[in-house]
């Protein structure tokens, strides 16, 4: 596999290393993860700085933290189907490690570093920033930086609609490293979405964020 995730690798070994979890043995992705974390923070900081010239340091810092937090990176990894390509050891395969936020977020960071080492700074940035376009495009404000459950609740209250219902659907993994799956349901407008996270709260936040995205895609939803 030399072409994946929007980039054609001149050195396929970099991609292989990026997708190899430490549970699979030698040549794993932890060093790439270290570099990718730094690159992601720089790409996101630069993009926010350029796109929001009136935002102050506090707002920029909070927006960057929101975009690069573990659950946000894991969600972007899921959209890229990165988990389908990870190389995991038998134990992680058995416990569904490809679904776990921590493993997905680390894999995404490692992938960023692999693209950078393969093609350079500019090419890497061009591939990576579109993954975050939705988060970078919106305004930076205290309203945007509220957590997803709060924003969804306020959206519904402003329209005098019933508040959402959250339900824990499943948990996966070892006791010390679980992945939680939750669903958020709205009575009206009728929407529902699932989310995953390293805690029940994180899973509910991810589900609420997914419902908010559904509502944003359907502005007339409140009449549904």
SS3 label, residue 129: helix
Residue 83 DSSP code: G
Active site residue 109: yes
Q: Which of 75, 109, 118, 209 is catalytic?
A: 109
Residue 189, preceding peptide bond in cis (omega within 30° of 0): yes
- Joined tokens for residue 118: 């393969």
Q: Which of 37, 101, 196, 209 is catalytic?
A: 37
| Distance between CA atoms of residues 62 and 122, nearest Å | 25
Active site residue 37: yes
Q: 149, 128, 17: which is closest to 67 by C-alpha?
A: 128
Q: Where are the alpha helices (DSSP H) in the chain?
A: 12-18, 30-51, 57-68, 70-79, 90-94, 101-119, 121-128, 133-137, 148-158, 200-217
Active-site annotation, residues = 37, 109
């Amino acid at each position: 596999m030399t072409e994946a995730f929007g980039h054609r690798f001149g050195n396929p070994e970099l991609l292989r290393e990026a997708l190899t979890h430490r549970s699979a043995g030698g040549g794993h992705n932890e060093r790439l993860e270290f570099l990718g974390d730094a690159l992601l923070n720089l790409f996101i900081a630069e993009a926010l700085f350029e796109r929001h010239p009136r935002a102050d340091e506090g707002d920029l810092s909070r927006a960057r933290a929101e975009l690069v937090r573990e659950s946000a990176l894991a969600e972007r990894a899921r959209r890229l189907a990165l988990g389908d390509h990870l190389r995991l050891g038998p134990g992680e395969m058995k416990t569904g490690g490809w679904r776990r936020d921590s493993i997905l977020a680390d894999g995404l960071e490692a992938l960023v570093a692999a693209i950078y080492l393969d093609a350079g700074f500019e090419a890497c940035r061009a591939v990576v920033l579109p993954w975050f376009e939705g988060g970078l495009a919106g305004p930076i404000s205290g309203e945007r930086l509220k957590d997803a459950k709060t924003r969804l609740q306020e959206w519904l209250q402003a329209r005098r609609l019933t508040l959402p219902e959250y339900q824990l659907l499943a948990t996966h993994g070892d006791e010390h490293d679980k992945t939680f799956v939750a669903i958020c349901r709205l009575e009206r407008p009728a929407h529902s979405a699932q989310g995953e996270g390293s805690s029940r709260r994180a899973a509910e936040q991810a589900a609420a964020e997914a419902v908010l995205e559904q509502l944003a895609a359907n502005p007339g939803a409140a009449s549904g």
